[in-house]
Amino acid sequence: MAKLIIEGGHALKGQIAVRGAKNAALPILAAAMLVPEPVRIGNCPRLTDVEHMLGLLRALGCRADWGEDGLIIDAGGARTAELPEALAGSIRSSVFLLGPLVGRFGAAEAPYPGGCDIGNRPVDLHLKGLRAMGVKVDEASGRIRCLGRPKGGAEIALEYPSVGATENLIMAACGAEGDTVLVNPAREPEIDDLMAFLNGAGYDMKREGSSRIRIRGGRRGHSTAHAILPDRIEAGTYLVAAAITGGHLVLRGARREHLSALLTVLREAGCRIHCEGTDLDIEGPERPRELRRLVTLPYPGFPTDMQSQVFALCTVARGTSVLEENVFEDRFRHGAELLRMGADCYIRGRSAVIRGVKSLHGATVTAHDLRGGAALALAGLRAEGITVVEQAERIDRGYVAFAATLRQLGAAIRREDE
Ligand code: UD1
């Protein structure tokens, strides 16, 4: 168990470099299973979710070692296609291994991932897609058992552009002898990073317009090196940290084209943002302006993974903001915690109405999920007095050295591990 203890009221100042994206790293590590030779992954963030995924790969017989040039994974020795229950249960993205295991061995077995801290997260689209590729999928007794090699020739239309299902199906399709086409795939940049890794490793796939991905079958994986793309959510979180404290930050190595929905919103809130190459310079306003209506959507819409941080920003806005969460069913738990800090918000179903208050005050609050936890810490940076964020280990899932990074930027924040 960990706690963050924050004394609010310090405007952030300074520069930081954006790290590699968690949501690209996890599927790429799973995809290493499709390559029976060593692969080198650069810019991989050392996060708890990443370490869990490496634990799973090792349990399946892969070697995974951190070196000076990055992470080396060698799946040459992988023999089993059955994920151990204890390890797989601790991380939802273990489901990502179904696709590559089916692609490589024609078999996979994993515990059912079930619900999680931001609502029910079914995997029906993943399994439907695998079935459409000719894989036999059995869901009895809380486990998912897949049998059979994906057959080429499938055209799979996703009812919803699920990020995880798109990634899983791409990886499974690598094992088919013929082509597979995904219709209505997700458009998140992390998917293109996964495709770039697999193309570099000898597979062959590309987007056909914005609504199809074609994966050519009959290829084999070979050694490659790949650098993970910068994390747009980590970058976004530090941008909001500058915005909420009225600070001035420079983010280095950011990809502004992946941040455009957020940058539009931050400008609407009164931030001054200047981009030069991969540098992003942001100056926060004294007090943010309200956001009339913000709706989360699949990429390139506003990302659900930035909703809680922007929610925190709206609590101190001049007027009333309305947020609508369209991607996950239960992603407003930070709202109840922010009430303890003096926020004035009302949540009903997937909508939140937030009346900005002049100031928040410190309180003891709980991080119920990764991004919600980060949002509470951001609110604490602005609040008067001391904020304690409990269960802060949840924040470690997505941010490398979160407290230390904020401290480097002038925040009064420390971490206590119990
Ligand atoms: C990924 C990201 C997560 C981000 C989310 C949406 C990773 C490791 N995680 O999660 O940070 O918040 O994209 O951008 O990359 N759904 C179904 N059936 C399915 C699959 C999904 O109903 O088979 C629903 C989900 O319950 C959810 C919505 O579709 O309501 C979006 O889920 P999805 O795009 O699959 O997100 P993840 O891949 O889980």
Query: How far, in Å, CA of 174 to CA of 133, rounded?
Result: 11
Are 124 and 197 members of one domain?
Answer: yes
Structure confidence at residue 95 as a pLDDT band (50, 70, 90):
confident
**Predicted confidence (pLDDT) per residue in 19-70, tens digit:** 999 999 999 999 999 999 999 999 999 999 999 999 999 999 999 999 988 9
Higher pLDDT, 12 or 140: 12
Given pLDDT bands bounded at 50, 70 and 90, which one contains residue 116?
A: low
Q: What is the mean pLDDT of residues 138-162?
A: 93
How many percent of the chain have pLDDT more than 70? 98
User: Is residue 390 located within the same domain as residue 280?
Assistant: yes
Which tens digit of pLDDT belongs to each residue from 233-245? 999 999 999 999 9
Residue 113: per-residue pLDDT: 74
How many A from CA of 152 to the centre of ligand 1?
A: 25
Average pLDDT taken over every residue of the chain = 95
Whether ligand 1 lies within 6 angstroms of the CB of 21 is answered as no
How much is the pLDDT for 114?
Answer: 53
Which tens digits make up the pLDDT trace of 315-334? 999 999 999 999 998 899 99
Residue range 212-232: average pLDDT?
A: 97
**Among the ranges given (107-121, 262-276, 283-297), the one the predictor scored with the smallest mean pLDDT:** 107-121
Residues 185 and 245 placed together within one structural domain of the fold: no
Which of 12, 10, 8 shows the shortest CA–CA distance to 360?
8
Residue 394 carries which DSSP code? G
Which of 47, 327, 370 has the most ligand 1 atoms within 8 A of CB, as the residue to mutate? 327
For tokens 């591990």, what's the residue? 417
Any idea how long the chain is?
418
* 229 in Cβ contact with 190 (< 8 Å): yes
Cβ 124 under 6 angstroms from ligand 1: yes
Report residue 150's pLDDT band, with 50, 70 and 90 as the boundaries.
very high
Three-state DSSP class for residue 230? strand
pLDDT in tens, 342-399: 999 999 999 999 999 999 999 999 999 999 999 999 999 999 999 999 999 999 999 9
259 and 362 together in one domain: yes
Mean pLDDT on 260-280: 97
**Among 227, 251, 277, which residue terminates a domain?**
227
Per the model's pLDDT, the better-predicted residue between 69 and 310 turns out to be: 310
Same domain? For 176 and 193 the reply is yes
* CA 100–ligand 1 middle distance (angstroms): 18
Q: Is the minimum distance from the CB of 261 to ligand 1 under 6 angstroms?
A: no
**Confidence class for position 87, pLDDT limits 50, 70, 90:** confident
The answer to whether residues 267 and 318 belong to one domain is yes
Note whether 64 and 9 are same-domain residues: no
For residue 263, what pLDDT is reported?
98
In angstroms, the first-to-last Cα distance of the chain is 5
Query: How many domains is the chain partitioned into structurally?
Result: 2
| Residue where a domain terminates, one of 204, 227, 250 | 227
Quickly list DSSP for 280-303.
EEEE--SSPPP-S-EEB-STTSB-
304 C-alpha to center of ligand 1: Å?
10
Q: What is the pLDDT of residues 361-377, one digit of tens each?
A: 999 999 999 999 999 99
Burial of 7 (0-12, 13-18, 19+ CB in 10 A): middle
Claim to verify: residue 271 and residue 306 sit in the same structural domain: yes
Residue 115 binned pLDDT confidence (cut-offs 50, 70, 90): very low
Same domain for 67 and 8 = no
Say whether both 392 and 335 belong to one domain: yes
The answer to whether residues 418 and 1 touch, using CB atoms and an 8 Å cutoff, is yes
- Per-residue burial over 206-226, b = 16 or more CB atoms within 10 Å of its CB, e = otherwise: eeeeeeebebbbebebeebeb
- DSSP 3-state assignment of 399? coil
Same domain, 244 and 182: no
Residues 41 and 161 in one domain: yes
**Angle CA 73–79–81, to nearest 5:** 95
Kindly report whether the global pTM for this prediction surpasses the value 0.75.
yes
C-beta of residue 275 within 8 angstroms of C-beta of residue 256: yes
CATH of the domain at 55: 3.65.10.10
Burial class of residue 41 in the structure, from the number of CB atoms within 10 Å of its CB (0-12 exposed, 13-18 middle, 19+ buried):
buried
Percent helix / strand / coil, the chain, rounded to 5: 35, 30, 35
Q: Residue 327 is part of which domain span?
A: 2-19+230-417
Of the residues 173, 198, 227, the one at which a domain ends: 227
